[in-house]
Amino acid sequence: MKIPRYYQHLSDYLKSGRVLVIYGPRQVGKTTLLKDFLIKSGLKYKLDSGEDIRIQEIFESSDFSKILDYAKGYDLIAIDEAQKIKNVGQGLKILVDQIPKIKVIATGSSSFELAGQIGEPLTGRKITLTLFPISQLELKKLYNDFELRQKLEEFLVYGGYPEVVSSDDIDEKKRILGEIVGSYLLKDILELDKVKNSKIILDLLRLLAFQIGNEVSLSELGRQLGIDYKTVARYLDILEKTFVLYNLRGFSRNLRKEVTKKSKYYFYDIGIRNAIVSNFNPSSLRDDVGKLWENFIIMERIKKQEYEKIYSNNYFWRTWDGKEIDWVEEREGKLYGYELKWKPKGKKSPDEWAATYKNSEYIVISQNDYLKFIC
């Protein structure tokens, strides 16, 4: 099954003098997206991999003559897995500076940005797109609302990685998720400097998998893992930048009762979360379905924000006496509070929220109306 991606028309983002950077987690379809575009582009292109030693030698040299000779006669240069090339940003800068009409695309896993390969050299010379696992927004091109709701259970358990969504075999879905966790996700993290222990990373992810929707204490995580809180903070930062975890911070405007210093962590893909804890049971046999629902809705909303350019600061809101709102968006000078409930039922806005933020909105998102929020 071919799933149409939101960025399938890459020509809309290609500009002379700019490098188009497509990055995101491994196995979300960056290479497929790139190849599909190139075939239909009508441009004379060259596609190479950053894993090719010859390509590494050319771009790592920063030698003008080598790089320009490599690109001579082509309309478009595409480098897949560009993060494998040391200082690739400098080589790409030479291309766009010295060949004014050439178009350049570079793809890479999330370590591409984290390693600082393209940051400073391409300041003002790049357009960045983030590709996520399959979104409900993309699936709406294949299914109507009724069909998406019928498949909700599947998305809550197995997530949205393209290969997982495309498979109709349950055992195959589980196998693919296990391989992504073991062979791709951890590989990306362990390639980074100062990260040597995959067991601690997995143990940290397991602890966080059971704390979805709860504020996280770095000191407590450190005690459970036998490491100091600074190391926990560094690992969490890496897991954020490699698109494994999303960090949601508390919102406050000076109300002394509000919790602001702690964070909540959600998984970019709920199937990865379930694979980490080895639980693929249906919702009827789970006691964590509320957490899955919260994680699913938040990440689908983030995809929609990214793809449709909905500019928003995102938070959770909680007071020390336990009043809370799962998801708060601050956009266009207004606050929107969303309570994410698995079972449809009305819930009154917390008194402190309504009293403190009088022009805000408060909305409950349930199975009855979730699609209009994320699609």
Q: What is the CATH number of the domain that holds 142?
A: 1.10.10.10
pTM of the model: 0.91
Inside any domain, residue 2? no
Q: What pLDDT does residue 284 have?
A: 86
Q: Are residues 93 and 173 in the same domain?
A: no
Q: Are residues 114 and 141 in the same domain?
A: no
Residues forming a β-bridge with 315 = 249, 328
Q: Are residues 72 and 150 in the same domain?
A: no
Task: Assess whether pLDDT exceeds 70 at residue 315.
Answer: yes
* Last residue in a domain, options 70, 103, 130: 130
Residue 8's pLDDT band (cuts 50, 70, 90): confident
User: Tokens 């022009």 label which residue?
Assistant: 359
* Last residue in a domain, options 78, 105, 130: 130
Share of the chain above pLDDT 90, in %: 63
Q: Using one digit for the tens of pLDDT, what is the confidence trace for 157-205?
A: 999 999 999 999 999 999 999 999 987 777 767 766 567 777 888 899 9
Task: Assess whether pLDDT exceeds 60 at residue 333.
Answer: yes
* Last residue in a domain, options 102, 130, 158: 130
- Domain interval for residue 272: 136-374
Inside any domain, residue 5? no
Share of the chain above pLDDT 70, in %: 94
What beta strand segments (E) does 162-304 contain? 245-250, 263-267
Inside any domain, residue 44? yes
Q: Are residues 264 and 177 in the same domain?
A: yes
- For residue 330, give the DSSP letter: E
Mean pLDDT for the chain overall: 90
What angle is formed at CA 124 by the lines to CA 118 and CA 129, rounded to 5 degrees? 65
Measured CA to CA, the distance from residue 101 to residue 38 in angstroms comes to: 17
Q: Using one digit for the tens of pLDDT, what is the confidence trace for 49-87?
A: 999 999 999 999 989 999 999 999 999 999 998 988 988
Find, among 24, 34, 116, 13, the residue nearest to 78 by Cα.
Answer: 34
Q: Are residues 234 and 325 in the same domain?
A: yes
Contact 316, 212 (CB under 8 A): no
Q: What pLDDT does residue 259 have?
A: 57
Give the domain CATH number at 67: 3.40.50.300
Q: What pLDDT does residue 200 have?
A: 87
Q: Are residues 146 and 93 in the same domain?
A: no
Q: Using one digit for the tens of pLDDT, what is the confidence trace for 234-244?
A: 889 888 888 89
Total number of domains in the chain: 2
Q: Are residues 111 and 160 in the same domain?
A: no
Q: Indicate the range of 27-31, 112-116, 277-281, 305-309 predicted with least confidence.
A: 112-116
Q: What pLDDT does residue 114 have?
A: 60
**How many angstroms separate the Cα of 321 from the Cα of each of 247, 363, 364?**
23, 21, 21
